[in-house]
Structure 1
């Protein structure tokens, strides 16, 4: 690694690589070095901190009924005060990041336990939604004060949990989630800027869009089949975001977006979905405004990445065509169902072709999986005999085997050609 870094100035002077490429290489190896040195300690240290916190709670719980109210209050608050002192000491003395992570995690969980215990001691009424919201709001500054990735993960996980509880079970739109997510974004962007190739950054790149996908359902309860349109716009936005130069080398956004787009198309390929769209009488303006915002963001990101020819990407194209199919479905459910199935089939075939052209096994098998899933879906709303279904399964299985065998041969041929050219 050190020899590569030393050779960078010579490569720049000979115009073999650009200065920007050299900076990217330096950042990559810096992130790799950081990950190798600290990830194991951080992970196991954090697990240890969580176990210690849970152990303290269990020790108190064992003898809880034998304590007086004043003793219970002291025991509820004392761990919180101790962890605050530890976190303050870590900040003032600028202790190691591992120390900060452990102190921060202990403080995070003692905040939650103190709130719950005080509420139980004094019979303060409340619900899970309000409890999670109070907990995450109180702990929100910690990820910045301690600059802790683990606290950022906890923050993102708990606000997603709050949104699920509020939106899916309490049937309330969790608007505070947006505020709490906004508080997380600057931390995430700084991490993305400073360590674009780090493993921790890669995990953020996966969990952040996953949180958006999970919580969107909490905001569109009652949207009916129009929810397919909203979800397609969000997944299109995530996919196009993954095409940005800073994120394209990490496949997390692209992976989630492409899988989500294929899933929505497959789910909406059933004819009864389009029959429901055709009979749907009214869509609340709130859902339309939300879709317009997400669709505009999706198109904007697509234009940034591909200009006026962004439609050449199959996944981008289907996200733009899907609203057109939805409009058709409002008047003709049969035609919309056919068009949806055609889009799924085309997406699978194009993905297989790209996989073969680029010798990419993941793309090849993803495309074949889309085609196989489409065939399986049609088993449920068509009157095919078991013999026909069996033949289709055999064909798909043979297709997987043949396509992968061809790609292996092509990869070997490319390696041989490269070796001959070097000689």
Structure 2
């Protein structure tokens, strides 16, 4: 509704403009028809729209606001026509009805103390549900008493940073926001080279780091799991040096070509902190995540977090607990795994047909693929993508500024974000942008 109001207020929807029927708009957005009908009815009541039998739903006639021509107007943000940025799930596929059902059940059954000041560990119902789920689905040794609920992986790193010492080894290609969070807390990040088997953990011994942040299930953004021998070597390093492994279970739920790789935490729960969230499996808007900690770190983390829960709402925690216990979480993951698998296959097939010179890598799991580009072409292809109204990731933006290995040119293409009806158009724009590779070749 907010976007419709803004479109009317700004004049993008002119007075008298006919809006799509509720059934059509609901299908385009992937929501229930009643949701659209209720939104239309509220906007009619507020005076933004009119609805008359036989003439449909239209933008109401309104007096144009008087604007002083001397008043400078900020330029409105330009939204890309096509979004293939990595890191986002399909927002239109959020299970609204199932989530609402779990909310009703959870709040009805909740004890009165759930509505008092929140426990910084998180609600016991959620920690128990997550411990059972993670043990079954990811092989995590997760005692509820060693779990702390947080607002996502970034929040978890903020809580852990004061406990990590002066330096943390990170993958040479990774999320810059994580590096920035650690840097803001006074923690230096030291890059490890990344190859087809994941991070070069043999570099840990001479890095001087007290901890290592890894994405062993599906390295972000290069792709691929951490090789089993490297998993064992990283845990051995932590045991021998007294160090700590921070396991970001990025994309652990979405593996397509073989069985999921179990969590690294199972190798040594006393040396590995397991980090997870629902940002990919459900929605980043929920701001729900968790840490499975070694016993010795539980109290220090809670000391950093504070006496009361200030970050994660209790109703959402209770809802997620019911969502997991009822089996709805498993069903949603199975549904989205199939949907993303089909999108992955469509991306690979389209590029094989339209851009055969471009190598596609990192596709065994997750919500993104890496398109390797010839050296020196990344900037030109990104410019061509922008001209097509296409938002896509640049591989260079994920490279640690102190990485020592040779830089790679490439695109990081997320196939999770577009709605179903928009995916084919986004792929078409991508292929047109990749035509720049052929021209440069």
TM-score exceeds 0.5: no
Query: What is the TM-score when the length of structure 2 is the normalising length?
Result: 0.22
Whose radius of gyration is greater, 1 or 2? 1
Query: What is the TM-score when the length of structure 1 is the normalising length?
Result: 0.23
